[in-house]
Amino acid sequence: MTATGRGCLAQGGSAAGRAATTGRGLARAFATAAAAAALLWVAPGHCEPPPLWSPPPLDPLRAASLPLRLADLIPPEPWRVRIEATIGYFNVQESSWHAPTLHRDLGLAGQPLSAGELALLERAYPDDEIYLLDLEGWQVDLHASLGLGQGWMVSLHLPWLELGQPHWDDLASSLHDFVDAEQDGFEVFPYGQTVAHAYGRSGRVERLGDLGGSGWGDLSLAVSGSAGRWLGLEHRWAAVVEAPTGDETTLAGSGGWDLGLRWTGRWDGRRNLLLAGIGFARLDAEGGWLGLPRRDSWQLLVASLHRLGASWALRLAARADSSPLEGFDDSDLGETAVLFDLGLRRELGGGAWLGLSFGENLPQVGVTPDYTLQLLVGGVLGGPAAVVAAPGVP
Look up the CATH number of the domain holding residue 233: 2.40.160.40
Q: Which domain, by its residues, includes 317?
A: 2-388
pLDDT at 49: 81
- Determine the residue type at 82: R
State how far the Cα of 324 lies from the Cα of 158, in Å rounded to an integer.
20
In a domain, 297, yes or no: yes
264-314 confidence digits (pLDDT tens): 999 998 889 999 999 999 999 999 999 999 999 999 999 999 999 889 999
Confidence band (pLDDT; 50, 70, 90) for 23? very low
- Res 14: pLDDT: 35
Q: How many CB atoms lie within 10 A of CB 196?
A: 23
CB 55 within 8 A of CB 343: yes
Number of domains, the chain:
1
| Residue 165 counted as domain residue | yes
- Among 316, 286, 148, 138, residue whose Cα is nearest residue 225: 148
- The per-residue pLDDT for 385 is 42
Q: Closest by alpha carbon to 76, among 143, 5, 173?
A: 143
Position 367: which residue type? V
Q: Is 198 within a domain?
A: yes
pTM (2 decimals)? 0.84
Is residue 91, in this structure, part of any structural domain at all? yes
Domain assignment of residue 178, yes or no: yes
Give the span between the Cα atoms of 118 and 131, in whole angstroms. Answer: 9
Tens digit of each residue's pLDDT (9 = 90 or more) over 99-147: 999 999 999 999 999 999 999 999 999 999 999 999 999 999 999 999 9
Q: How far apart are the first and last CA of the chain?
A: 59
Q: Is residue 394 part of a domain?
A: no
Can you give the pLDDT at residue 211?
86
Q: How far apart are CA 252 and CA 237, in angstroms?
A: 26
Domain-located, residue 393: no
